Amino acid sequence: MDDLYQLSRHVFEAQPFSIFLGAELTRASSDGVTLSLTVADHHKQQHGYVHGGVISYLADNSLTFAGGLALGGDALTSEFKLNYLKPAKGSRLEARAEAQSVGRRQAVCRCEIYSIEGAQKILCALGQGTIVAVGK
């Protein structure tokens, strides 16, 4: 595995909340990131759908990772917007994020979050955020 993935994995594994939720970093490259989550009962709300807070976490963290990779270092979310499109009711979620515009100190990133059940993937949310470099 390449150094960029290994560095990203090290940062991800240092996030207690990500570990608590059971999220996984499944891809990290200069093209972007993918975070995955196997859905458990404690991720769901009263109607049986994945709670919006879990989807929001996936958006925030995938956007920040994509921005940090594009900016070449440590980064934080400055802001993000999330549109919920359909209820997430699959057995797995996948968030794919990539930088759309990169400057010296900030990157605007976009993510798509899919609800997956078997071979069926349903786009359930779209996010966009501004990620800022830390310490630059």
Domains with residue ranges and CATH for the chain: 3-133 (3.10.129.10)
Pairing mode of beta strands 32-38, 106-117: unpaired
The pTM score is 0.94
CA distance 57 to 69: 18
Q: How does pLDDT run across 7-65, given as a tens digit for each residue?
A: 899 999 999 999 999 999 999 998 999 999 999 999 999 999 999 999 999 999 999 99
Q: How does pLDDT run across 110-132, given as a tens digit for each residue?
A: 999 999 999 999 999 999 999 99
pLDDT at site 85: 98
Say yes or no to pLDDT of 69 above 90.
yes
Q: pLDDT tier at 5 (50, 70, 90 boundaries)?
A: confident
pLDDT at site 136: 63
